[in-house]
Amino acid sequence: MIFDVAGVVRGLLPIICVLVLTYLISLTFFRLFLHPLASFPGPRVAAVTSWYEFYWNVVKGGRFLWEIERIHQHYGPVVRITPDELHIADPDFYHEVYSPPCKKQDKEKNYVRLGGQDGSALTTVDHHLHRLRVSALAPFFSKQAVEKIEPLIQSKVNRLCAYFDSCIHPGTVVTVSHAALALTVDIISSYAYGESYDCLQRADLGSEFRKILVSANEGYAILRHFHWLHAVMHRLHRWGCNTSPYIVWQKHIAEQTVSMCSLHREGKLPAGTMFQAILDSSLPDREKEPRRLSVEAQTLLHAGSETSAKTLEIILFHLLEDTAKLERLRAELVAIMPEPTNSVSWNELRSLPYLSAVIQEGIRLQFGITTRSPRVSHTPMLYKDMVIPAETPVSMLTWFVHTNEAIFPHPLEFDPDRWTLAAEHGIRLEKYLTSFGKGSRRCLGVNLAYAQITITLATLLRQFEFELFESTIDDVTPARDCFIAYPRKGCKGVRFRVIGRVGK
């Protein structure tokens, strides 16, 4: 007897269709009327399906953030943006959602899956495990630790100056984000791994690594929905298919980590690296496994490079565009750096009020991470008269804090004086600076970020004259959420010519 497969499928198809339809109708009914978030305002379509987010972020290219903005304008400060997640736009509630370590709060699992591999502090869901992991890393990023590596930072900045010297030619145009990223990657790779990626030594400033980061950032929107794609790509890689350069890089770090662990066993691991900080810590052995260390190493490079580089790009654009601000900053720098090549400590530089204000304003306009990083509280949260059920992922994007007109008037303008004026009036505007996040999961690299941005700006602006090249405000205006804010597609980023050395 010949088994009629086609006939069986034909016979089953109507039943399968009815079952799928019944499931979808029941799910829709549940999400609209029975779900714990059913009473929260927001578009019905967002309550019913995550394809809504998919549409705005994947089809429309990173535009969900601005759709959330529209939703807030329509429905108020608390909105349901996916079937399971609430978003709140109220700067004064930020500290409740991103709360200090004393309050047990997890990260949401879909967010931490973006990177594909759990194991780093950044990608840890559980509150207590996160506290444990951070305990080993925090001393590595403390103010004192960063002050100790100032010579390393300065040496990389000097290398950047040498690169700019080679660009003093009217026909040479520098893409600022490329140069800035080469710098930050070289700093964090030297510090964390004890082995510099040396992007600044290369004519293309390490374009390969840059592409890896950008493609990973652009891929996050898809991975939020289909995180299993990571596993597929790793499997394909194992079978010899040339998948993404990101996977190749992950493999490279994994191998580097294994050799670091053997050096440590032999007592030959160079002091001062992230590997040493973790391997010599009191963390349990399972936390010192090469696989986990490798994920931590990847995260540090990823988290610590593009964010700081973008901030530098934004600040340089605004200063070169408004020479009054540039000259005011230079005058302040000249007072403590009479010779252009004087090097001054981070400690001295951070006492300069205008430089500090310029940096705060750049960090504000960088907007930190523009992808939602929801928190999950294990107890109900109260927002005004609304009770947010326990275990609900709640997010608050920095975009909504930093563009709040009441706190930052003309929010998209680069106005360092808002910081100097606030300081003069005793107003603690930093409370609303959320680029680094807040609370227990706040950025660990804050000190390193400030140190490298401060030293780089002071050195470059004291030593070089630059001139913008075909760059406009569009090059630094957020238009796409690709984990961090990217300008609209097609923008070439801020570019300048290096006119020459100051005073020559």
Q: Report the C-alpha gap between 94 and 120 in whole angstroms.
A: 24
Alpha-carbon distance 156 to 430, whole Å?
29
Considering the complex, what minimum distance in angstroms separates the CB of residue 296 from ligand HEM? 8
Candidate segments 40-48, 261-269, 303-311, 376-384, binder of ligand HEM by CB under 6 A:
303-311
What kind and span of H or E run contains 13?
A: helix 5-29
Q: Shortest Cβ distance from residue 27 to ligand HEM (Å)?
A: 29
Q: Which of 83, 76, 127, 125 is nearest to 383 (CA)?
A: 76
Residue from 448, 461, 482, 498 touching ligand HEM (CB under 6 A): that is 448
Q: Residue 232 — φ and ψ, nearest 5°? A: -60, -45
List, in sequence order, the alpha helices (H) in 322-387.
323-336, 346-349, 353-366
Task: Between 31 and 304, name the residue whose CB sits nearer to ligand HEM.
Answer: 304
- Residues 119, 194, 437, 487: which binds ligand HEM (CB under 6 A)? 437
**40-48, 248-256, 257-265, 431-439 -> range binding ligand HEM (CB under 6 A):** 431-439
Q: Among residues 62 and 368, whose Cβ is nearest to ligand HEM?
A: 368
CB-nearer residue toward ligand HEM: 35 or 210 = 210
Instruction: Find the Cα–Cα–Cα–Cα dihedral 379, 383, 385, 387, rounded to 10°.
Output: -30
Across the chain, which distance is largest between two alpha carbons, in Å? 96
Contact letters for ligand HEM, residues 197-216 (x by CB under 6 A) = --------------------
Quickly list DSSP for 24-45: HHHHHHIIIIISTTTTS-S-HH
Query: Within 134-193, which residues bind ligand HEM (CB under 6 A)?
Result: 134, 188
In the bound state with ligand HEM, the residue whose beta carbon lies nearer, of 153 and 205, is 153
- Considering only 110, 307, 395, 456, the residue that binds ligand HEM (CB under 6 A) is 307
d(CA 251, CA 247) in angstroms, rounded, equals 6
Closer to ligand HEM by Cβ: residue 76 or 272 = 272
Distance (Å, whole) CA 176 – CA 493: 7
Among 445, 457, 458, 485, binds ligand HEM (CB under 6 A): 445
241 is an annotated ligand-binding site residue: no
Dihedral of the CA atoms 451, 457, 459, 464 (nearest 10)?
A: 170
**443 touches ligand HEM by CB under 6 A:** yes
Residue 328, φ and ψ in degrees, nearest 5 = -65, -40
Q: Are strands 480-482 and 375-377 parallel, antiparallel or unpaired?
A: unpaired
The interface with ligand HEM within residues 275-294 (CB under 6 A) comprises none
Considering beta carbons, is residue 302 or 325 the nearer one to ligand HEM?
302
- Residues 346-385: x/- map of binding to ligand HEM (CB under 6 A)? -----------------x--x-xx---x------------
* Identity of the residue, 95 or 501, whose beta carbon is nearer to ligand HEM in the bound complex: 95
Judge contact between 407 and 401, C-beta under 8 A: yes
Nearest distance from C-beta of residue 33 to ligand HEM, angstroms: 32
Under rule CB under 6 A, residue 88 binds ligand HEM: no
Least gap, CB of 446 to ligand HEM (angstroms): 7
Nearer to ligand HEM, 188 or 376 (CB): 188
CA atoms within 13 A on the CB side of 411: 18
Answer for which of 189, 250, 311, 456 binds ligand HEM (CB under 6 A) is 311
Q: Which of residues 98-127 bind ligand HEM (CB under 6 A)?
A: 121-122
Q: How far is the CB of 368 from ligand HEM (least distance, A)?
A: 4
Choices 51-59, 212-220, 316-324, 437-445; region in contact with ligand HEM by CB under 6 A: 437-445
**Of all residues in this chain, which one has the CB nearest to ligand HEM in the complex?**
445
Q: Site for ligand HEM (CB under 6 A): how many residues?
A: 24
Range in contact with ligand HEM (rule: CB under 6 A) among 36-44, 80-88, 422-430, 439-447: 439-447
Which of 55, 220, 383, 436 lies at the binding interface for ligand HEM (CB under 6 A)?
436
Residue 333, Cβ neighbours under 10 Å: how many?
A: 22
Put residue 89 in one of left, alpha, beta given phi > 0 → left and psi -120 to 50 → alpha. beta
Told to check if 449 binds ligand HEM by CB under 6 A, we report: yes
Integer Cα distance of 142 and 150 in angstroms: 13
Within 8 A by CB and 6+ apart from 127, the residues are 104, 105, 106, 440
- By C-beta, is 91 or 437 nearer to ligand HEM? 437
Identify which range of 48-56, 197-205, 383-391, 435-443 contacts ligand HEM by CB under 6 A: 435-443
Three-state SS letters, 62-102: CCHHHHHHHHHHHHCCEEECCCCCEEECCHHHHHHHCCCCC
Alpha helices (H) along 194-350: 207-223, 228-238, 245-265, 274-279, 290-321, 323-336, 346-349
Helix axes 176-188, 446-463, angle to 10 degrees: 130
* Torsion from C-alpha of 443, 445, 450, 455, nearest 10 degrees: -160
CB nearer to ligand HEM: pick between 295 and 363: 363
Cβ–Cβ under 8 Å, residues 374 and 393: yes
Least separation, in Å, of the C-beta of 50 and ligand HEM?
A: 20
Report the binding-site residues for heme: 443
Residues annotated in a binding site: 443
Residues of the shown chain interacting with ligand HEM in the complex, contacts defined by CB under 6 A: 121-122, 134, 188, 300, 303-304, 307-308, 311, 363, 366, 368-369, 373, 435-437, 441, 443-445, 448-449
